[in-house]
Structure 1
Amino acid sequence: MPLLARMIPAPLVVDVRRGALCELAKILADQRISPSGRVAIAVGPTHGPVVRETFQAGLAGADWFTVDGCTINAAIRLVEQIRPRQYDAIVGIGGGTVLDVTKFAAARLGLPMVAVATNLAHDGIASPISTLDNDAGRGSYSVPAPIAVLVDLDLIGQAPPRSVRSGIGDIVSNLSATADWEAAHRLRGEAIDGFAVSLARTAAQAVMDHRGGVGDDAFLTTLAEGLVLSGMAMVVAGNSRPASGACHEISHAIDLRYPGRRAFHGEQVGLGAAFAWFLRGDADHFNATVDCLYRHGLPVRPADLGFSLDEFAEIVCYAPLTRPGRFTVLEESALTPERTAAKVAEFDENVRARTQEIARD
């Protein structure tokens, strides 16, 4: 009997714990990523100097580079700095900006990339996508996923709590994104990957069901592992479908229409997911999403992001234009501007009532 299977690239190492960064040199050698320790290490300008001072003694063969900005130009500058020398791999140590720039640079140079996360703001930790600003606004670029992922909870504990909470919004939005994908499959015949859906949903549900918070190591471990699984779901699917639906279209619309008023990515997509569940008329998922966001101190109403109801309605109307060809509940609903404004007002009132109910309990 033939054995039917598929080969899926996955990280050689996923290490989530306190002190993980101290083991970087050992992991590079043991996994034969860089037995010599000859790697390029990219860090950010804020925390990078502290990270370098703390850990460079154990990484004597490495050269250190500073990433300045989450732009395509910053990524190209990093490529130009690294290209003249020979390295076994590129290591990105930082938050989403550093990791996205480093992934792009590694792809251009044909080198494996090791992601060391110092923040849990979104699921780019292990994803095959780099999100970078460009002259047209913001673009998503396909890149190889990291060959190893380390999350040092000591460093996560030093990150701003708001940015870590952002990762909760990003992972929770997977449930809405997979609902959009299933609708596209059912109504438009779009191909769907059940394994990718399972990974994305499992990651989201684990975080939603956990009663801890960002000050709890057990919760942070669940969140970090969920964000890695979300990235792997995109690897399996070959695109961002398992983690990006109407929720992300709304976030992209905010980025493009109000670039000076961007919040954290996870804050925007979390609110977008709550609105998408409301549009679907799914009270159970709407309530569960609002409950989770509210419990963790994330935005649940347009005003929490600094938008009036009229501004948010305009954002929702613009959102489908950000991803032409992607079918979500926004495209399915095909709301007129007037109907959108009415739905936004109704959504806001329902969220207000729900949060009041939570507060009373």
Structure 2
Amino acid sequence: MSELIKISSNLVAGIGSLHKIAQYLDDLKYPRSILILTGENTYKIAGKIVYDNLNSNGYDVNIKILDMKGYLSQVKQLALDLRNFSKSVLVAVGGGSIADIAKYVSNEINSLLVIIPTTLSSDAFSTSYSIFWNNNEKQAIKTKSPNLIVGDYDILKNQPKRFLGAGIGDMLSKLTAIPDWRLAFWFAEEQYNDFAAKIAMAETKLLIRRIDDIAKANYIGIKTLFHAEVLDGYLMEISGTTRVAAGAEHLISFVLENMSDNGLHGEYCGIGTILISYLQRGYNYSKKITKLLEKVNAPTTANQLDLTKSQLIKALTTAHKMRNWYTILGNGLSENSAERLLRYTHII
């Protein structure tokens, strides 16, 4: 059996990369028509640099400032509104929400896509999936991988430290996602890719070794986290599933994101990883993950995210319904078991 694997074929990363964006597009012989998708703040952070560089090098540049909450209905309408830009290059400048919107629009209008992340709070900029609100819950939709990813370490180095903590929360999810994936292989006959799983674990071990650099936001730390998040996109395409990077901890995150907007996706994933690691390997292992998250000032308790005990109990008792995945949660924990787990891990 063979299948076509579509992954981002081009990657540029380094110090001051955005000041050479026109050169990269010239080298790739991309069309001269550009549509920049960005937000009001991210335009000031990086979008203006991109616009000025492309405009001064003879590109026909249009800008669309996005101000939407990521509802699927809004994004569908945006794709319709931008269908005349199918011959242009879509350049997304921003965080995960901007990237998700751009991947959907580019997929719908069949355009080339360049993504320039301004934060590393999740791996959204590199994957071929987009997350949107639909019918009062978050839904994952298969979209497309970017044709080019551009990482500027100067921009990423200056992101708020909270985003780096969230990024580590998202990346450490593999510590529980991979064991869950193996359970699904053995007990639910789900597809499993051993090569992708081993690469994912090796990547996570490197992140742990360099977590002090990531906490300091020095160039070594930024480079490591950036490349790890890029690699996630490749691993999902190689394995044909998001399960290489997401398990029960993500299911918990999905429930919490539906109930509260106090935290970032990666922050909720971090909480979920603490909880699921306890079920998988016990207190000592769970405590190690807590300490890793504390090194990057990521939240490790309910109070830090203004979550109530009842919200967390609901997450643990209903998370298994969020996806048709086999995980260690099985058919869900009882309320009593959920509360015990929250206390044993010192989340509450």
TM-score (norm 1): 0.88
Q: Does 1:26 pair with 2:23?
A: yes
The one-letter code sitting in structure 2 at the alignment partner of 1:343 is L
Partner residue in 1 for 2:217: 215
RMSD between superposed Cα atoms in Å: 2.2
Mean Cα displacement is larger for which, 296-305 or 93-102?
A: 296-305
Partner residue in 2 for 1:39: 34
Partner residue in 2 for 1:278: 278
Partner residue in 2 for 1:120: 120
Q: Deviations over 1:100-147 (max 9, x none)?
A: 100000010111211111110101121010111233322111011111
Partner residue in 1 for 2:104: 104
Post-superposition offset of 1:49: 4.6
Q: Deviations over 1:175-198 (max 9, x none)?
A: 211110011112222220112212
- In 2, the alpha carbon distance for the partners of 1:164 and 1:78 equals 30
The one-letter code sitting in structure 2 at the alignment partner of 1:239 is T
Q: Does 1:227 pair with 2:229?
A: yes
Partner residue in 1 for 2:313: 313
Match of 1:329, SS? Answer: coil
- In 1, the alpha carbon distance for the partners of 2:343 and 2:283 equals 16
Post-superposition offset of 1:245: 0.6
Q: Between the two proteins, what is the percent identity of the paired residues?
A: 21
| Gapped regions of structure 2 (runs ≥ 5) | none
Partner residue in 1 for 2:336: 338
The one-letter code sitting in structure 2 at the alignment partner of 1:321 is K
The one-letter code sitting in structure 2 at the alignment partner of 1:121 is S
Q: Does 1:328 pair with 2:327?
A: yes
- In 1, the alpha carbon distance for the partners of 2:337 and 2:63 equals 53
Partner residue in 1 for 2:6: 9
Match of 1:124, SS? Answer: coil
Q: Does 1:181 pair with 2:181?
A: yes
The one-letter code sitting in structure 2 at the alignment partner of 1:66 is I
- In 1, the alpha carbon distance for the partners of 2:167 and 2:225 equals 8
The one-letter code sitting in structure 2 at the alignment partner of 1:42 is L
Match of 1:140, SS? Answer: strand
**Contact 1:72–1:101 (8 Å) recurs in 2:** no
The one-letter code sitting in structure 2 at the alignment partner of 1:133 is W
Post-superposition offset of 1:240: 1.1
Partner residue in 2 for 1:53: 48
Post-superposition offset of 1:156: 1.5
Match of 1:145, SS? Answer: coil
**Contact 1:39–1:87 (8 Å) recurs in 2:** no
The one-letter code sitting in structure 1 at the alignment partner of 2:276 is A
- In 2, the alpha carbon distance for the partners of 1:214 and 1:152 equals 17
**Contact 2:46–2:118 (8 Å) recurs in 1:** no
The one-letter code sitting in structure 2 at the alignment partner of 1:40 is L
**Contact 1:175–1:200 (8 Å) recurs in 2:** no
Partner residue in 2 for 1:357: none
**Contact 1:200–1:233 (8 Å) recurs in 2:** yes
Partner residue in 1 for 2:151: 151
Partner residue in 2 for 1:162: 162
- CA change 1:109–1:214 in 2 (3 A) is farther
After the TM superposition, list the runs of 4 or more consecutive aligned residues in structure 1 that deviate by more than 6 angstroms.
none
- CA change 1:190–1:88 in 2 (3 A) is same
TM-score (norm 2): 0.91
| Gapped regions of structure 1 (runs ≥ 5) | 353-361
**Contact 2:117–2:125 (8 Å) recurs in 1:** yes
The one-letter code sitting in structure 2 at the alignment partner of 1:255 is E
Post-superposition offset of 1:7: 5.5
Mean Cα displacement is larger for which, 14-23 or 289-298?
A: 14-23
The one-letter code sitting in structure 2 at the alignment partner of 1:263 is G
- In 1, the alpha carbon distance for the partners of 2:67 and 2:199 equals 33
- In 2, the alpha carbon distance for the partners of 1:346 and 1:51 equals 43
**How many equivalent residue pairs?**
341
- In 2, the alpha carbon distance for the partners of 1:328 and 1:173 equals 13
242, 245, 249: which one aligns with 1:243: 245
Post-superposition offset of 1:214: 4.3
- CA change 1:143–1:217 in 2 (3 A) is same
Match of 2:40, SS? Answer: coil
The one-letter code sitting in structure 2 at the alignment partner of 1:25 is A
Post-superposition offset of 1:71: 2.5
- CA change 1:328–1:41 in 2 (3 A) is same
**Contact 2:275–2:341 (8 Å) recurs in 1:** no
